[in-house]
Amino acid sequence: MPYWFDYHEVTAEVGGREITIETGRLAKQAHGSALVTVGDTAVLVTATHSRPRPGIDFFPLTVDYVEKFSAAGKIPGGFFKREGRLAEREILVSRFIDRSIRPLFADGYRDETQITATVLSADGIHPPDIAGFVGASAALTVSEIPFLGPIGAVRVARVDGKLVANPTRQEIEDADLELVVAGNRNALVMVEGEAREVPEAQLLEALKFAHDSLVPLLEVQEQLRSLAGKPKIEVSPPSRDPEIEARVRERAEPRMREAVRVSAKKARYDTLAEIEREVLDELTAELLDEPARFENLRAVREREAGLARRTQDAREALHELRSRLMRSMILEEGRRIDGRAHDEIRPIACEVGVAPRAHGTAVFTRGETQALVYTTLGSAQDSQTIDALTERSEKVFMLHYNFPPFSVGEARMLRGPSRREIGHGNLAERAFKAVLPDYDDFPYTIRVVSEVLESNGSSSMATVCGATLALMDAGVPLRGAVAGIAMGLIQEGDRVAILSDILGDEDHLGDMDFKVAGTRDGITAVQMDIKIPEVNWSVMEKALAQARRGRLHILEKMAEETREELPDLTPRPQLGRFAPRMDVVYVKPDRIRDIIGPGGRVIRGIQDTTGAKVDVEDSGRVTIFSPDLDALERAKAMVRELTQEAELGRLYCAKVKRITDFGAFAEIFPGTDGLVHISHLAEGRVDKVTDVVQEGDEILVKCIDIDPSGRVRLSRKEALAELPEQGGEEAPTDA
């Protein structure tokens, strides 16, 4: 290494694979940087910060995970040959990292902070996202940023019944359980994953295995910090004027104690907002009544600064008071905000078929959370092409989640989907992978869209429930019904309250957000964010068991609410009225060109003539879609006519195309001719072909031979012999 490099490297082994973390060679002007390498996959992660914005009352953290196509030796597809905005996968990994590290900064730290993870090399075997996780923690750990880490991250898969840490791509594809887990020595901090209906006990076993597996990553990061770590920025915990806190408690606590018991969200929020406004107005008036020490500009500025400080202190005191009152009500009185018991689920209502022209629709309502979900069926042409870093694939199941501002009573501009919307949609989408029909059995592209109409707690899990109903309403043959539930946790010392079907306030003020989706048989998707330093494994086990009971209750209510339309919560036996019908025709791969034609003219002609949609695969599978059954049958007949082949022993009504001295060539169907040798024109000797047939004649022939090169031999003589004596020479109507 050149002498000006302060280079350090550490190595850990996870899952039998070596992970190397280095710092001091690349991106040295960043406040912290780490290059993480596993196999030939390498990810550079940098951490930087800048001065805080004046008056800021939140932590402005930005995390970006970026996959560069050059890292895999590829040029981006499409018109613009450079990377643009983050793809969905990059956004999901960015969210994973963000959710893991956000709670782990010193209290009071408000600097603008940015984490950038850039994939420098991708080998197609070791997924780079885990390297990005580890690199983010390592870069923060060696920087001066007051990060309370390190944390480790690991992917766990269960392959053939065995748990594997940091599996390869192939192992992930073969697994029936896949989790991404981040944690420190004491607890897990983030979990996201999917499964094929695994029991809760097996999920808990995988989480414990993941926690044990990530410990070596913590040890090497601590070692790296001792070698290259910078002194941390000293951050003073936020302090408030005790006089302001006392005034807030005196004036707000009695009214706020009653306000937090108002069960309706809007009424509760309006009451709390009124209390806050009155308290702030009183404190502001007191400050304005105080005489200024100087009758000049300096006095005005001091008064404005004092007013801003008091207002901010009062706002924070009000928020803390609200949180304390809600938490104590749950822990001490056993009463939740809306009066429910800890394990009680809000009232549920379900409807299906609410949009007549859609292929499948449902409205799922749980308390003050409501989702309108659509299912749309399409052909292979409607699939989404994923041009990923190391592979290109087609996605035939998509679930999109939308969270419009009116769902929470807000007014703001509509833009593209946010990272939160993409993340919630992905979680719901993963919940269905285990129960979707095989594409060979149901060759439709399926798009599910969830429009959240109301939200007060876990709209993503309402989306899962609504999607089950919408898919079944469309006639999609799901292997099982999926429901989702969001769990919460309030923990102070030895006092613990596990909450089922949490409200928005319980999510915001609680210590854990734990979403579980699954069928009656097991879990299909899970997401967990923990905001406290430690959660006991026994608490986790109880939370999973309580989540299962809640999930089964929701499935029972869904079945009860839709018993007339979807008996026993099973899909409709037929597709929706306006859904495209589908049929499959198999042809030899070398006949595909006959369907497509020069420049695609033939297949376009079929589609323009019939209105059906025709998809042709390289394997020779031809899928025909149309909401009109007549159009589908016409398109199918045209495809068969273009690709049919002669069959030995079959009778055909053929048209004579050309006559030679040795026989006649006759067309048995478009594109296929056969030779009727002169000896096979009629019984007995035939001196001249024209004595029996002329060009343009339609004759009955039988296929008597097809040689290896595909040449067809026909016989008029044998065809006539098969007819009854009085039958004449008419061909059967269905040869």
| Domain-located, residue 92 | yes
C-alpha to C-alpha distances, 519 to 139, 405, 431, 540, nearest whole angstrom = 40, 31, 9, 20
Which region, left, alpha or beta, applies to residue 569 given φ > 0 means left and ψ of -120 to 50 means alpha? left
Q: Are residues 522 and 596 in the same domain?
A: no
Q: What is the pLDDT of residue 691?
A: 87
Summarised one tens digit per residue, pLDDT across range 193-220 is: 999 999 999 999 999 999 999 999 999 9
- Which residue type sits at 270? D
10 Å CB burial of residue 250 (0-12, 13-18, 19+) is exposed
Q: What is the pLDDT of residue 556?
A: 97
State which of 228, 258, 282 marks the end of a domain. 228
Among 12-21, 556-565, 612-621, the minimum mean pLDDT is found in: 612-621
Res. 300: pLDDT tops 70: no
State which of 643, 664, 684 marks the end of a domain. 643
Q: Are residues 543 and 602 in the same domain?
A: no
Is there a contact between 494 and 474 (Cβ–Cβ < 8 Å)?
Answer: no
C-alpha to C-alpha distances, 694 to 161, 657, 703, 716, nearest whole angstrom = 73, 9, 20, 14
State which of 533, 562, 591 marks the end of a domain. 562
| Domain-located, residue 608 | yes
Within a 10 A sphere around the Cβ of 733, how many other Cβ atoms?
6
Residue with tokens 């919307």: 421
Q: State what percent of residues in the chain have pLDDT above 90.
A: 61
Number of domains in the chain: 5
Res. 304: pLDDT tops 70: no
Q: Are residues 185 and 329 in the same domain?
A: no
Range of the domain at 630: 581-643
| Domain-located, residue 44 | yes
CATH at 711: 2.40.50.140
Q: Are residues 57 and 138 in the same domain?
A: yes
Summarised one tens digit per residue, pLDDT across range 27-74 is: 999 999 999 999 999 999 999 999 887 777 789 999 999 999 999 998
Please state, in angstroms and rounded to a whole number, the distance separating the CA atoms of residues 589 and 208. 50
Please state, in angstroms and rounded to a whole number, the distance separating the CA atoms of residues 720 and 735. 14
CATH at 258: 1.10.10.400
Res. 109: pLDDT tops 60: yes
| Domain-located, residue 570 | no
Please state, in angstroms and rounded to a whole number, the distance separating the CA atoms of residues 261 and 264. 9
Res. 575: pLDDT tops 60: yes
| Domain-located, residue 439 | yes
Q: Are residues 599 and 529 in the same domain?
A: no
- Which residue type sits at 706? I
CATH at 624: 3.30.1370.10
Please state, in angstroms and rounded to a whole number, the distance separating the CA atoms of residues 617 and 614. 10
Res. 511: pLDDT tops 50: yes
Summarised one tens digit per residue, pLDDT across range 520-554 is: 999 999 999 988 887 889 999 999 999 999 999 99
Q: Are residues 248 and 193 in the same domain?
A: no
Query: pLDDT-derived band of residue 493, with 50, 70 and 90 as boundaries?
Result: confident
| Domain-located, residue 196 | yes
Summarised one tens digit per residue, pLDDT across range 607-616 is: 999 989 898 9
Of 228, 233, 230, residue with least CA distance to 23:
228
Is there a contact between 120 and 70 (Cβ–Cβ < 8 Å)?
Answer: no
Residue with tokens 């009155």: 278
Q: What is the pLDDT of residue 725?
A: 59
- For the chain, what is the mean pLDDT? 90
Please state, in angstroms and rounded to a whole number, the distance separating the CA atoms of residues 443 and 447. 13
Is there a contact between 207 and 178 (Cβ–Cβ < 8 Å)?
Answer: no
Summarised one tens digit per residue, pLDDT across range 386-438 is: 888 878 888 999 999 999 999 998 899 988 899 999 999 999 999 999 999 99
Q: Are residues 588 and 680 in the same domain?
A: no
Q: Are residues 671 and 587 in the same domain?
A: no
What's the DSSP call for residue 574? S
Q: Are residues 424 and 321 in the same domain?
A: no
Query: pLDDT-derived band of residue 326, with 50, 70 and 90 as boundaries?
Result: very high
Over its C-alpha atoms, the chain yields an Rg (Å, rounded) of 35
Q: Are residues 628 and 689 in the same domain?
A: no
Q: What is the pLDDT of residue 238?
A: 75
DSSP assignments along 254-281, one per residue = HHHHHHTT--SHHHHHHHHHHHHHHHHH
| Domain-located, residue 569 | no
Strand residues in 617-711 grouped as ranges (E): 621-626, 651-660, 663-669, 672-677, 698-706
| Domain-located, residue 521 | yes
Query: pLDDT-derived band of residue 728, with 50, 70 and 90 as boundaries?
Result: very low
Q: Are residues 587 and 689 in the same domain?
A: no
Q: What is the pLDDT of residue 42?
A: 97
pTM to 2 decimal places: 0.85
Q: What is the pLDDT of residue 306?
A: 67
Please state, in angstroms and rounded to a whole number, the distance separating the CA atoms of residues 318 and 248. 7
Please state, in angstroms and rounded to a whole number, the distance separating the CA atoms of residues 173 and 177. 10
C-alpha to C-alpha distances, 219 to 14, 20, 244, nearest whole angstrom = 12, 13, 44
Please state, in angstroms and rounded to a whole number, the distance separating the CA atoms of residues 499 and 625. 47
Summarised one tens digit per residue, pLDDT across range 626-642 is: 888 888 999 998 988 88
Please state the rounded mean pLDDT for residues 451-479: 96
Summarised one tens digit per residue, pLDDT across range 140-181 is: 999 999 999 899 999 999 999 999 999 998 999 999 999 999
Q: Are residues 656 and 639 in the same domain?
A: no
